[in-house]
Structure 1
Amino acid sequence: MDTAQESQESRAEAMRKLNPAPKNAYDIRVVLKDAPGPFAQIDAAAQYDVENAGECGEPQPLSGAVPRISTNEPVALKRVSDTEFVGRVFADQVLDEDYYGRGVCHWKFIETRVSLRESSDPMATSFVAALEADAIEQGGSKPTFFWEGHYPKAEIDNYAEFGDPSLENVPDARKSEFFEVVISAQQAQP
């Protein structure tokens, strides 16, 4: 990693502060249905964006534009079975603060994403499913369908497959070629 990249990453890391005692918790459940094989690598993250980046962020030196301010915080998933995983996300995980001396940056919880890979092989497809914050806060769920032809590998290195929310446009004769990842959420009990 070059020095400029290290500097940018450490600056991004230092730019946000995590809440030491978050309270607004949601339990996330990930269920795999008809998967074409096992997934050795399963990762989850919660995304948070600054709502008022233009007012509080650091302008770029040449253009004066303020880039989007976002962070993806890891979510620990616990394996319940070969097809089910659970974890906890916090809507209030990132603290609102004046990070750049231009005013308080207000963070907003955006979504939780899950990425499943057959292995760590660079050719292995990442199957990515997400549940938006509004659905999480309402105790909702969302299916995402993936074509099994990209399992375990697509023909592109580090290919990411984002799936489809339904199979309504898939001919009945081909629906068996898809597997499903369902993410659901509920308010965590204290």
Structure 2
Amino acid sequence: MNCHDENDDGIDPRVKLRANAGDKLHDLQLRRELDIINIRTANELGPPPPGGLPVAPRRKPNLPASASTMPLPMKAGHQENETMDFKSMAVAASMALAACAPVQEEKPSRKLNPDPKRAYTITMTIAGASGPYEISKGSLQYNIADQQCLPPVRNFAGVQTEPTHTSISFPLTKVADGSYVGTIYLDAMLEENFYGRGICRWELAGIFVTADMQFNSKHFYPSLALWYTPEMLLSEQAKTFYFWKDGLGRPDPSDPAILEAQGPKVFRAEIEAEVFSVTFSSRAVVQ
């Protein structure tokens, strides 16, 4: 059984790069849609109970055996041979699957930089929230900028088993009512020639901060930094985003006052009382 593909070193690197490249905006849109679904579900059904939903044990029904399902009588020797044949087939199948499965090796490229230097201080300010809230730790997503540094795909499944992205957390410290400060490192991931195919370079791809907020005693969990991009971080310009206080979207594109993904630039006075704002600002840390 041939469990490995042909050597793909001869393929044009640009073709492989385009095939492996992701769509950051599409990933962010999917994340936002998932957040909206979770928020609506929590608003309609309430938050999940502590420890998660109860799981009913699955039981096999005790049905009377019919004549068609009763095993045929066989001699002891014949039964022993049948059992041995079945075991032989099971062993052969497991060996074949094991040979075709990708080898689980250590992931050397996913290492933290012991001495990061490219630091930015990020400040997040929340204004106009209708109820109490808590801010969890933020998270950062890093992607490998050029996957040509990774080993070529040779496994039977045709999947790159080495890491192409990773996430790490960063703390946010409350400095005043509604104001939080944290530090982000652009070079938080270690860059080395891990596989002998060139330096694996990481780039910051996304910034995420989730809050546990309340409106009329109901919880919702907006991703406050979902639309705050690394490009905005590097620009060191303040960016403000708006969210509905009840956590529900208004998916009516015909209404000019409806909030868009990043919030309205101008909205009617009666809408202003229904939203709260989150403002991000950044500053490069001089070493």
Residue 127 of structure 1 aligns to a residue whose secondary structure is coil
Match for residue 74 of structure 2?
none
| Residues 1:38 and 2:114 are matched in the alignment | no
Deviations 1:46-94 (A, max 9, x none): 2211011254156373442437711121111110123000011111111
User: What letter corresponds to residue 81 of structure 1 in structure 2?
Assistant: A
| Alpha-carbon distance, 1:13 to partner | 7.5
User: What letter corresponds to residue 29 of structure 1 in structure 2?
Assistant: T
What is the 5 A alignment of 1:1-190? 15-56=109-150, 59=153, 61-66=155-160, 69-100=164-195, 102-118=197-213, 124-130=219-225, 131-150=228-247, 164-168=261-265, 171-190=268-287
- Provide the TM-score with structure 1 as the length reference: 0.73
Whichever structure has more helix as a proportion of its residues is 2
- Provide the TM-score with structure 2 as the length reference: 0.50
RMSD of aligned residue pairs (Cα, Å): 3.0
User: What letter corresponds to residue 97 of structure 1 in structure 2?
Assistant: E
Aligned pair count reads 167
Quote the Cα distance in structure 2 between the aligned partners of 1:125 and 1:71: 26
Instruction: Please identify the structure whose Cα radius of gyration is greater.
Output: 2
Higher relative contact order (CA 8 A, sep 6+): 1
- Which shifted more, 170-179 or 63-72? 63-72
% identical equivalent positions? 24
Structure 1 residue runs of 5 or longer lacking an equivalent are: 1-9, 152-162
Whichever structure has more strand as a proportion of its residues is 1
User: What letter corresponds to residue 175 of structure 1 in structure 2?
Assistant: E
Deviations 1:122-152 (A, max 9, x none): x84221133212221221222121111128x
User: What letter corresponds to residue 140 of structure 2 in structure 1?
Assistant: A
Residue 246 of structure 2 aligns to a residue whose secondary structure is helix
Quote the Cα distance in structure 2 between the aligned partners of 1:83 and 1:148: 15
Quote the Cα distance in structure 2 between the aligned partners of 1:117 and 1:14: 35
